[in-house]
Amino acid sequence: MIDTHAHLDMLKTEEDLIESVEKLDYIITIGCDKEEIPKAIKIAEKFENVYASVGYHPYDLEGITDNDLEEIKNIVKTHLKVLAVGETGLDYYRDYTPVDIQKEFFRKQIQIAKELNVPLIVHSREANEDTMDILEEFAPYPASGIIHCFGGDRKMMERAVDIGFYISFAGNVTYPKADGLRDVLKHTPLDRLLLETDSPFLSPQKKRGKPNKPSHIFYTLEFVAEFLGMDKKELERITDENALRLFTIKELSAVQ
């Protein structure tokens, strides 16, 4: 099982980290601010089955400059264990950063991902229309991307699928009130479906209120399989195949 989105540097304990690394086949850990980026890279260097994605989250862009983006570009270009750009995107829920600046940094990071031909990991909260408008400006995406912790409606999902993106559901899809989200899940093409924990946030219902960790992904897997009327193992196989298609393991291609 692959967890396509976790913040391993933020897990509660070292045991949580070890357990997660042991129970999952692969984990993509995200570094999305100045402090987290080096930590994510370090963890990816330490564990064979952990890979990283780096970028700047829209929640706090204060003091981030073009030089920082240049650095992101260099890391993604040269580091064998850094596979993608992000998470980046738009967050109008928190809006700590003015919308214009969020959009500017989103566009610039899209361009980096496209230039390097790597996947783009997108965060969108209460900004779904603008997120999709900007993503569509830059389509097509030969290396694809993910709308992570999907929280949009069916229309957004369809627009994302149309530009070749994957739709990743997190633990909140298991919440009793998430009927709208489950309706989107039901209509998401299986070959575009991913699962993630977004650890340490958004623990699935069975562990709600506790800090999340990648090993909790099995609760989400079980829930989604049951909801879709599928065998758990079959769903795992499909979502893992999707993740592996999306994330090219550079170490493997470097050897060949």
Minimum separation from the CB atom of position 96 to Zn ion (A): 16
Minimum separation from the CB atom of position 11 to Zn ion (A): 13
Identify the bridge partners of residue 118 per DSSP, sorted by sequence position.
none
Closest by CA position to 2, among listed 231, 194, 226, 213: 194
Sign of torsion over alpha carbons 242, 178, 94, 129:
positive
173: left (phi over 0), alpha (psi -120 to 50) or beta: alpha
Closest to Zn ion by CB, 17 or 225: 17
String of contacts with Zn ion for each residue 190-229, x by CB under 5 A: ----------------------------------------
Closest to Zn ion by CB, 30 or 113: 30
Q: Which residues contact 191 (CB under 8 A, 6 or more apart)?
A: 238, 242
Minimum separation from the CB atom of position 32 to Zn ion (A): 6
Closest to Zn ion by CB, 30 or 194: 30
String of contacts with Zn ion for each residue 17-56, x by CB under 5 A: -------------x--------------------------
Minimum separation from the CB atom of position 162 to Zn ion (A): 24
| E strand intervals along the chain | 2-6, 26-31, 50-54, 82-91, 120-125, 145-147, 166-169, 193-195
Closest to Zn ion by CB, 87 or 236: 87
Total number of residues that touch Zn ion (CB under 5 A) = 1
The helix (H) or strand (E) run that includes residue 128 is: helix 128-137
Minimum separation from the CB atom of position 230 to Zn ion (A): 26
Q: Which residues contact 23 (CB under 8 A, 6 or more apart)?
A: 1, 214, 215, 218
Residues making contact with Zn ion (CB under 5 A): 30
